[in-house]
């Protein structure tokens, strides 16, 4: 890319050499999103992502519900990562209504959040595999994901949308003997995902389809404001768990995985490395967690915000930084709630990455953005 | 059933309106975080009374700028203070003030001392009662030439609030259907059915 980025992403004027294709929605190469691409022979000359309108009602609906009843529906955009998408909202509400969290609850939250990150990444990895026609990589993560889903079911009672985080802590305490089961499952899980390297990441077919495709330079990754694994695969060491630690992340030993290449291969490998880091964090948290104590500060039935106030809280989710901006006017429901999500922020890079690529590489570039279609138009 | 249970909550609302003014003066002047105060002082020193510091909290600095100065201030934030990307752009509708507030949350990847900081830059656009998005006075200068990362965010604000960003290279809809002919949906006077 040149120093000056091209203005806009507008499609080219139609000329007889150039063909316009609608890829998706509901297409094996695009998921729920429609990507309008213009191709010249085999090469993409312009691309216009059209995220659509599925869950945008979330932000509007939040203005009609009070702080507590917002919880179960705000996690819908990313049901596989429901703890992380609630996390900034819950942190924000705690600041708005002024409430402290018990120490044990903070550890429980960290464990739930890391388990959810793995659950999401395994789902993403499964789809990345099947997009590239690699059906082993679809079946293995989809099966191994069950281990962690079972753990979350033990912890929260629900398999997918947990609604576990509430202002003031978490909804329920851990079940008896959970620590031992969790440690055993996580150790097995880590051993299992290490085997993925042999079948997927060292696979010459994957390497030939992802190496040097969709290269995003460090400078452009910063300027386009990308986040999460896309940013770290381009060589920027930025992880909110380290840079702006929330709850107990500053008491744990957290490392981030950074790769310099910035191509699809690096972008697909960083989340996999992050899963192993998550296993480390869970083990540390299980060890350091207070063995007893309260996990929830009781809240008044219908909490109000303190006057005209606004907070912006952010956490690191499976897809990068996840921010929640809450404006309160002293009532029981938010005046305005805005979620800033990683998928939407990373989407801006797609037209720049696809330009000049072969159409056949579109799925591998597009899905390496760690994109969750429903989250972008939450 | 549901409409009956919701009606009382609507009636309660007017009573609560009196709480914000009484609570505001209670906030005591606490010790401001020194680093964040330094950032806000730099901006005030440079622009004087063109900018207004709205809050200084831990890791957050909020400033409010008039719409004619927002571009100039954003350039200073990028070049003078090393903030390099916009995380989020939010619109907040204030029908009673006849204004729509647009809030930029600006962060930094390159400067490690700013890694945990977010600068909240807010500006306000005039609000029209009967909006014709793109062809009325609800306009703001774009920051796309300062921060590339606002490209999709500003398109989102355009269709959700009807705020037109002058100078944005690609002023098209992003999320709504092509035949959308109703009010911009995140304005307060767009009501959800049955509520």
Asked whether the beta carbons of B85 and A223 are under 8 A apart, the reply is: yes
Quick one: what percent of chain B has pLDDT higher than 90? 23
Chain A residues lying within 8 Å of B78, measured CB to CB: none
Please give the ipTM for the structure prediction: 0.89
Chain B CB within 8 Å of residue A188 CB: no
SS (H, E, C) A34-49: EEEEEEECCEEEEEEE
**CB–CB of A330 and B192 under 8 A?**
no
Gyration radius (Cα) of chain B, Å? 19
Q: Environment class of residue B50 by beta-carbon count within 10 Å: exposed (0-12), middle (13-18) or buried (19+)?
A: middle
**CB–CB of B192 and A304 under 8 A?**
no
Upper half-sphere CA count for residue A339 (Cβ side, 13 Å)? 34
Asked whether the beta carbons of A8 and A17 are under 8 A apart, the reply is: no
Which residue among B85, B88, B109 places its CB closest to the CB of A323?
A: B88
pLDDT in tens, chain A (378 residues): 434 554 444 565 667 788 888 887 877 777 778 888 888 889 988 888 888 766 667 888 888 888 899 898 888 888 888 899 999 999 999 988 888 999 999 999 999 999 999 999 999 999 899 888 888 999 999 999 998 999 999 999 988 888 899 998 899 899 999 999 999 999 999 999 999 989 999 989 889 988 888 899 999 899 988 998 999 999 999 999 998 998 899 999 999 899 998 899 999 999 999 999 999 999 999 999 998 888 888 888 888 877 778 899 999 988 889 999 999 988 888 999 998 988 889 988 888 888 888 888 888 898 888 888 888 876
Chain B residues lying within 8 Å of A377, measured CB to CB: 175
Which A-chain residues 57-86 have CB contacts (< 8 A) with chain B?
59-61, 64
Q: Indicate the pLDDT class of residue B56, thresholds 50, 70 and 90.
A: confident
Distance CA B156, CA B161 (A): 8
Distance CA B190, CA A59 (A): 13
Chain A residues lying within 8 Å of B175, measured CB to CB: 51-53, 56, 377
Ramachandran assignment for B194, one of left (phi > 0), alpha (psi -120 to 50 degrees), beta (any other)? left
**CB–CB of A225 and B148 under 8 A?**
yes
**CB–CB of B105 and A323 under 8 A?**
yes
Chain A residues lying within 8 Å of B110, measured CB to CB: 222
pLDDT at residue number A266: 92
| Omega cis (within 30) before B24 | no
Chain A residues lying within 8 Å of B115, measured CB to CB: 238, 243-244
**CB–CB of B109 and A7 under 8 A?**
no
pLDDT at residue number A1: 41
Distance CA A88, CA B48 (A): 34
**CB–CB of A312 and B118 under 8 A?**
yes
> Could you give the angle at the alpha carbon of B27 between the alpha carbons of B21 and B28, nearest 5°?
145
Residue entry with tokens 């097995």:
A188
Closest-approach residue (CA) in chain B for A246: B116
- Measure in Å the smallest separation between the Cα of A345 and chain B Cα atoms: 8
Distance CA A116, CA A131 (A): 23
Residue B110 CA from chain centroid, whole number: 24
Distance CA A336, CA A90 (A): 15
Give me the helix-helix angle, A178-194 and A264-288, nearest 10°: 160
Q: What is the pTM of this model?
A: 0.88
Residue B102 CA from chain centroid, whole number: 3
Model pLDDT for residues A335-355, shown as the tens digit of each residue = 999 989 888 899 888 888 888
Q: What is the maximal distance between C-alpha atoms in chain A?
A: 71
User: How many CB pairs lie under 8 A apart between chains A and B?
Assistant: 112
Residue B4 pLDDT more than 50?
Answer: no
Chain B residues lying within 8 Å of A312, measured CB to CB: 60, 88, 105, 118, 120
Q: Between the CA atoms of A9, A15, A17 and A18, what dihedral angle is there, to the nearest 10 degrees?
A: 30
Distance CA B62, CA A294 (A): 35
Q: Where are the beta strands (DSSP E) in A265-319?
A: 308-317
Which residue among A7, A327, A347 places its CB closest to the CB of B92?
A: A327
Chain A CB within 8 Å of residue B87 CB: yes
CA distances from A75 to A152, A161, A326, B111, B179 (A): 15, 7, 16, 33, 29
């Amino acid at each position: 890319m040149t120093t000056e980025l091209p203005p806009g992403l507008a499609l080219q004027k139609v000329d007889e050499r150039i063909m316009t294709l609608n890829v998706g929605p509901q297409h094996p190469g695009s998921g729920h999103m429609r990507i309008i691409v213009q191709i010249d022979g085999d090469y993409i000359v312009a691309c216009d992502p059209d995220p659509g309108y599925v869950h945008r009602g979330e932000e509007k609906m939040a203005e009609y519900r009070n702080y507590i009843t917002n919880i179960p529906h705000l996690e819908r955009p990313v049901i596989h990562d429901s703890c992380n998408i609630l996390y900034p909202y819950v942190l924000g509400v705690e600041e708005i209504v002024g409430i402290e969290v018990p120490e044990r609850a903070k550890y429980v939250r960290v464990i739930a959040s890391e388990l959810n990150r793995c659950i999401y990444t395994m789902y993403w990895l499964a789809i990345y595999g099947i997009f590239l026609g690699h059906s082993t990589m679809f079946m293995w993560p989809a099966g191994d994901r069950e281990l962690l889903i079972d753990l979350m079911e033990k912890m929260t009672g629900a398999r997918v949308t947990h609604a576990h985080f509430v202002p003031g802590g978490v909804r329920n305490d851990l079940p008896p003997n959970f620590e031992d089961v969790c440690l055993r499952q996580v150790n097995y899980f880590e051993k299992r995902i290490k085997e993925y390297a042999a079948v997927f990441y060292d696979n010459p077919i994957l390497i030939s389809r992802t190496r040097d495709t969709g290269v995003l330079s460090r400078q452009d990754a910063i300027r386009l404001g990308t986040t999460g694994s896309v940013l770290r695969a381009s060589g920027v060491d930025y992880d909110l768990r380290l840079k702006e630690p929330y709850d107990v992340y500053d008491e744990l030993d957290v490392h981030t995985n950074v790769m310099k290449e910035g191509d699809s291969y690096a972008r697909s490998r960083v989340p996999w490395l992050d899963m192993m880091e998550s296993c480390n964090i869970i083990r540390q948290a299980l060890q350091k967690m207070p063995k007893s104590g309260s996990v929830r500060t009781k809240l008044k039935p219908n909490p109000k915000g303190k006057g005209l106030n606004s907070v912006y809280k952010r956490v690191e989710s499976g897809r990068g930084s996840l921010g929640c901006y809450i404006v309160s006017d002293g009532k029981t429901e938010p005046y305005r709630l805005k979620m800033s999500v990683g998928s939407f922020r990373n989407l801006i890079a797609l037209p720049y990455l696809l330009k000049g690529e072969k159409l056949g590489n579109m799925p591998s570039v597009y899905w390496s953005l760690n994109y969750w279609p429903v989250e972008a138009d939450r | 059933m549901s409409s009956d249970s919701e009606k009382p909550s609507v009636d309660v609302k007017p009573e609560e309106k009196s709480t914000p003014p009484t609570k505001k003066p209670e906030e005591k002047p606490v010790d401001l975080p020194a680093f964040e105060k330094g950032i806000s002082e730099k901006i005030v020193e440079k622009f004087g009374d063109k900018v207004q510091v709205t809050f200084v909290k831990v890791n957050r600095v909020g400033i409010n700028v008039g719409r004619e100065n927002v571009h100039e201030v954003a350039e200073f934030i990028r070049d003078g203070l090393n903030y390099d990307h916009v995380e989020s752009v939010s619109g907040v509708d204030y029908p009673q003030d006849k204004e729509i507030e647009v809030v930029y949350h600006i962060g930094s990847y390159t400067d490690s001392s700013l890694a945990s900081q977010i600068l909240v830059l807010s500006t306000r656009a005039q609000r029209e009662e009967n909006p014709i998005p793109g062809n009325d006075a609800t306009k703001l200068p774009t920051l796309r030439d300062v921060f590339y990362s606002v490209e999709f965010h500003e398109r989102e604000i355009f269709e959700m609030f009807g705020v037109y960003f002058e100078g944005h290279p690609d002023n098209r809809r992003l999320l709504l259907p092509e035949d959308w002919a109703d009010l911009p949906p995140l304005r307060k006077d767009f009501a959800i059915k049955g509520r």
